[in-house]
Amino acid sequence: MNKPMTKTLIALALATIVAGCAGKASLDAAQQSGDTPPLPAPQNFLVPPMQVPDGVGWKDGQTPRVAAGLKIEKIADGLMHPRQLYVLPNGDVLVVESNSPGTEPVTTPKQFLAGMIKGGSGKGGKGGNRITLLRKAADSGSWEKHPFIDHLHSPFGVQLIGDSLYVANTDAIVKFPYQTGSTQVTAPGVEFADLPGTIDHHWTKALLANSDGTKLYVGVGSNSNITENGLDVEYRRAAVLEVDVATASSRIYASGIRNPTGLGWEPTTGKLWAIANERDEIGADLVPDYLTSVQDGGFYGWPYSYYGQNVDTRVTPQRPDLVAKAIKPDYALGSHVAALGLWFSAANALPDKYQGGAFVAEHGSWNRSPLSGYAVVHVAFQQGRPVGAPEPVVTGFHSDDEKDLYGAPVGLAQDKDGALLIADDVGNTVWRVTSDSH
Amino acid sequence: MSSSIEPRRSVVANSLYGLLNPIPFGLFVAALIFDVTYFRSGTMLWNKGAAWLITLGLLFALIPRVVNLTQVWITSRRFATSTDRLDFWLNLFAIVAAIFNAFVHTRDAFAVMPTGMWLSMCTVVLLAIGRVAVGVQSSGRTVVVHE
């Protein structure tokens, strides 16, 4: 063989590698939303579609963009990776500052490299492991900041039942005493119920109490993308757990939901709904993240299938018996939008079209090019069912050229005045959206 | 690959080659065994082990492959036999297959299979043919068989 042949071979090898990297998305989130999203054929890649903008934070005076009829203001900054928001009955706002416990061991060369690539986006910033309380000053429009609870362990969900505040750390629900009006909890937390806390590939534990305060629902994400850490570490994972408040005993309420990052009660029917992050690495247009009602005892497919009976061949052994009973989620949000915040709002201070639906915060994913998500969207509901395409409410979290990331929305809540609050864990900010007619 | 009729080869290069060249072959053979075990059992340990073995095999192959390229095509060009050149090409294809295989092994769970196992097989078979050819060549000379 001679030199030209060597060159040809190298060129061929490079061309194949580049072809393996291709995989730009062809469907945007709106096209792939609703109850029957188009699902292209799954692909395997040499290098999966990837796009990770640089986390740069917000410049002074810079804000996300809001839809017509709305305005946005910053009510707190300088936080340590704010992830979740919870409004107490007196109007105080709790900001949960948290990130992954970092306990997932590096067990493959890929994890070693991926950790470095994803770190640049600012999404890997250190979490505060604490809760900060924001209180609106009576006279001015400014918000005071008080350290509320410290020394938590990757907390996410927070719920108040009576005078007990339940905080979902990554490995346990911890209970604190709360007195109305207090700006700090000094009493130590007492472990109330344990949660799956090994590896913590998906570490967030979403928390929601029922209306009479007898049950807590916990969203527990899977311990892998698609069982690559083995099936034995998935016990009580990819599930919504139901914890009895009186006895602290728990059971699996629904399963097969890969990463249920947000839970909420649909206001007209009183049914439990969840947002979920679906699996990666089978295409930029697969698999759409979703918003779904959660049935008691329901199985939603993960890991064996998605959107009902679409089998995932990466799982072994296959389980046709489980695939057969997999429930198709109610409403697709688009692929790799990374829905991380859910807020049902029966009534709020925003314009009419934002009443009675669900707000969803989309954090954006590494496994997608061009970028998708990085927005807060509104899904309209009629008779307790989602209708139409998700409508962007807050956008502009990344630069137009998709190179810089200013912020990324996570937790959502509604303050006492009916304004929408957004935790931004890349900009380390809390945003407040109101109608611009006020 | 070494013998007294090729006096211009550097002692350092030959030492490095002798030290490092056997390592990738062992790692790639182990990767093939791990791949077959994963293919048959579905136990993730073997798949992750194979991914490390292939990556390490490629890292250890770097220096001996550069030494071999230099000797076969530049410094000892006049002395290189057709067997030496065959061995070079077999190694090159084996490494290209292993590079693809390293990427295939970044896939999650059973998405690695069966492609990853066949690529491991390719790498091992190509390297094995090269080593047998060099071994046969050595048997025709009055030198102790070693590399």
**Contact (Cβ atoms closer than 8 angstroms) between residue A168 and residue A155:** yes
Instruction: From A30, A35, A143, select the one nearest A85 (Cα to Cα).
Output: A143
Predicted ipTM beyond 0.95? no
Q: What is the pLDDT of residue A216?
A: 98
Query: What are A111-159's pLDDT values in tens digits?
Result: 888 877 777 777 888 899 999 999 999 877 799 999 999 999 999 999 9
Please name each of the domains of chain A with its CATH number. 3-33+40-435 (2.120.10.30)
- State which residues of chain A have pLDDT below 50: 1-2, 15-16, 18-21
Interchain contact, A225 vs B106, CB within 8 Å: no
Given CB atoms, is B55 within the 8 Å cutoff of chain A? yes
Q: What is the pLDDT of residue A109?
A: 92
Given CB atoms, is A111 within the 8 Å cutoff of chain B? no
Q: What is the pLDDT of residue A341?
A: 97
Which of B73, B108, B110, B118 should be substituted to probe chain A, the one whose Cβ sees the most A Cβ atoms within 10 Å?
B108
Q: What is the pLDDT of residue B78?
A: 87
Interchain contact, B96 vs A13, CB within 8 Å: yes
Interchain contact, A226 vs B109, CB within 8 Å: yes
The band of B1, judged by pLDDT with boundaries at 50, 70 and 90, is: very low
H/E element holding B83? helix B82-104
Query: What are B7-62's pLDDT values in tens digits?
Result: 556 899 999 999 999 999 999 999 999 999 999 999 999 999 999 999 999 999 99
Q: What is the pLDDT of residue A47?
A: 87
What residues in A contact B45, CB-CB < 8 Å? 230
Q: What is the pLDDT of residue B4?
A: 45
Work out whether strand A404-405 and strand A54-55 pair parallel, antiparallel, or are unpaired: parallel
Beta-sheet strand order (sheet of A357-362): A65-66, A385-395, A375-382, A357-362, A339-345
Rounded to 5, what percent of chain B is helix, strand, coil? 80, 0, 20
Count CA within 13 A, CB hemisphere, residue A15. 6
CA-to-CA distance for A167 and A314, rounded, in angstroms?
A: 35
Query: What are A323-337's pLDDT values in tens digits?
Result: 999 999 999 999 999
Given CB atoms, is B86 within the 8 Å cutoff of chain A? no
Chain B, 89-118: which have a CB under 8 Å from a chain A CB?
A: 89, 92, 96, 99-100, 102-111, 115
Nearest CB among A20, A44, A108 relative to B51 is that of A108
Q: Which two tokens stand for residue A389?
A: 């395409």
| Terminal Cα-to-Cα distance of chain A (whole angstroms) | 78
**Contact (Cβ atoms closer than 8 angstroms) between residue B108 and residue A224:** yes
What is the sign, positive or negative, of the torsion defined by CA atoms of A407, A412, A416, A420?
A: positive
Q: What is the pLDDT of residue B145?
A: 47
Cα torsion through B99, A226, A424, A190, rounded to 10: -130
Rg (chain A; Cα; Å):
22
Let me know if B113 is exposed, middle or buried by CB neighbors in 10 A (0-12, 13-18, 19+): buried
Secondary structure of residue B139 in the 3-state scheme = helix
- Beta-carbon count within 10 A of A73 CB: 13
Listed in order, strand segments (DSSP E) in A346-398 are 357-362, 375-382, 385-395
Which of B43, B44, B52, B58 should be substituted to probe chain A, the one whose Cβ sees the most A Cβ atoms within 10 Å?
B44
Residue listed under structure tokens 């136990």:
B43
> pTM score > 0.80 for this model?
yes
Cα torsion through A142, A160, A379, A271, rounded to 10: -160
**Chain centre distance of CA A95:** 16
Q: Which two tokens stand for residue A59?
A: 């410049």
Mean pLDDT of chain B: 91
Query: What are B104-144's pLDDT values in tens digits?
Result: 999 999 999 999 999 999 999 999 999 999 999 988 765 55
